[in-house]
Amino acid sequence: MPLTIQQERQRIQQLIELDNQSDQDGSAYYSEYLAYVREHLTAFYQKYADENGLTLSQAATRISKWDLAEWKQALSGLGDISSWPQEAVNRVKEQTYAAGIDKGHLLGAILILGIIALTVRQQRHIASRVNTDGKYEVKRMLQAFKLTSKQKKRVTSIITQPETRKIWSRNLWVDSDKLAGDVQFLVNRHLKHGMSLNDLTSILDEHANMSQFKPSQSVADRIKQMEFNTRRIVRTESARLIDEVNMTTYQMNGVKEVDWITEPGACIKCQAIAGDSPYSLDEAPLIPRDTHPNCRCIKMPHLSVMDKRQLAAKTLGLTAEEQAGLLRWVSGDSYKLNSALYSSQKPTGLLKTTMDELDTGLAKLPKFEGELWRSVELSGKELSNYLWKFEPGSNYVPSEYLAFTKASSLYNGNAKVQIVIKHATSGRNLGAFNLSEGEVLYERGSNFKVADTYMDDANRFIIELEDH
């Protein structure tokens, strides 16, 4: 069963929801860290502040028993670190050394311990998210393509390859070190002048409003910045892996071309990329390399109109005969069939077959909701005869099929007579079967109510119908 555009859109939606969940988890981690900073800074303040607040000269004194107890408490708060990655353990060792220098360094080391723990949590979260997304994508590919066990092994190996993880992981630690340095710098800057209770509050002040966002002054904002970085890594790495799983699967299965499916609210760049679809597999842009971080677009094997029609027929449950009837309608039989019905003749032969197929086929198409227009090209006697049928308040029941054009599509607005249905609900949407995208067809004998008739500013005769 090939992949459908609908499935791809659903997949994008699913990933966006997972991203939002990750954001929430991430925010919780960062809030916890902020509370941790607050707790330790307050403890130091209460223990050591004098009339000048907490100062650098106090910070430069040797560590006391109380300090050591604080340090040990922070250390044991990390829990079991034996399963931590080496880069984290190394950093804890470094901080243990720094903590022995003096009070100021010990305070800094405590704050950094929290950042190390935070980074480990984020690293695990990202790894698990990316892994889950990759595995699910492999499953999706397995369902869409009949992969041999060798091929399956190859796609699965993409998820477990350590190379990709190495890069984002290293970047995450670089970010983390930078955050640690900045937090320490911010605290030291206040210690220089004597940290007051007010300073303590302003250091921890969060600015939700972007215009007041001050990562160079507020620890809270600086942490938020790191939170945004992490969000970006989650999305980007998940998208990178999914793209690789997809491309590898397509290559192995001889997919020649791919279509670009944009995420909801896609940027101009991605919309332009999608506009140039389909791409030959070798030339298809890669995500995120050729797009940007946070890109949630996706690529799927190109569907020809025939493919799309086949998929739609299957979903709608259209028989081969019904499909043929619908195709014959759009390819020209409409005129002959309708004029027979209009003049109350009984269609025979192929025309009758088309009519029967169309009747059952149309009933399977979804109903269109929205505004519809129909232009009528009549003049003279024919026109006046025609207009007599539309008495406001009366019913209009044409014996033929009635075709309308969606207001969103181009239609002939110049015709003298225009029929409009402002809130259509019961016409059949031919676009659902990938046929004349803008056309909505009413079954023969449909019942309309004439709501109003009038001349508009352009001297056109407007007939307003209701279809319910």
Site residues (CB under 5 A) for Zn ion? Answer: 267, 270, 291, 295, 297
Q: In what order do the strands lie in the sheet with 257-261?
A: 279-280, 257-261, 298-301
Q: Provide DSSP, 290-334.
A: TS-TT---EEEE---HHHHHHHHHHHHT--HHHHHHHHHIIIIIH
Nearer to Zn ion by C-beta: 15 or 220?
15
Residue type, 458: A
Rg of the chain on CA atoms, in Å: 34
* Cα(255)–Cα(139) distance, integer angstroms: 18
The position carrying tokens 């508009």 is 456
The smaller minimum CB distance to Zn ion, of residues 236 and 354, is found at 236
- Spatial neighbors of 278 by CB under 8 A, at least 6 apart, are 257, 258, 259, 302
- Pick between residue 195 and residue 295 the one whose CB is nearest to Zn ion: 295
DSSP 22: H
In terms of CB distance, is 54 or 270 closer to Zn ion?
270
CB of 231 to Zn ion, least distance (A): 16
Contact by Cβ (8 Å): 188, 104: yes
* Least gap, CB of 249 to Zn ion (angstroms): 20
| Rounded-to-integer distance, Cα 123 and Cα 233, Å | 10
In whole angstroms, the minimum distance from the beta carbon of 245 to Zn ion comes to 17
Using the minimum distance from each CB to Zn ion, give the nearer residue, 247 or 311. Answer: 247
> Nearest distance from residue 237's CB to Zn ion, in Å?
15
Q: How far is the CB of 291 from Zn ion (least distance, A)?
A: 5
For Zn ion, which is the closer residue by CB, 236 or 338?
Answer: 236
DSSP H/E element including 228 = helix 219-252
Left if phi > 0, otherwise alpha if psi is -120 to 50, otherwise beta: which for 132? alpha
Closest CA to 301 of 273, 275, 281: 281
**451 phi, psi to nearest 5 deg:** -85, -40
Considering the complex, what minimum distance in angstroms separates the CB of residue 50 from Zn ion? 55
Strand 439-442 to 461-466 pairing = unpaired
Nearer to Zn ion, 116 or 297 (CB): 297
The distance of closest approach from Cβ of residue 164 to Zn ion in the complex, given in angstroms and rounded to an integer, is 19
Nearest to 233 by CA among 288, 306, 151, 160: 288
The structure tokens listed for 384 are: 């006046």
Closer to Zn ion at the Cβ: 158 or 266?
266
Instruction: Name the minimum Å distance from CB 266 to Zn ion.
Output: 5
Amino acid at 216: S
CB of 298 to Zn ion, least distance (A): 9
Minimum CB–partner distance for residue 279 and Zn ion (Å):
14
Q: Which two tokens stand for residue 90?
A: 């190394």
Across the strands, what pairs with 442? 402
Give 10 or 42: the residue with its C-beta nearer to Zn ion: 10
Nearer to Zn ion by C-beta: 241 or 270? 270
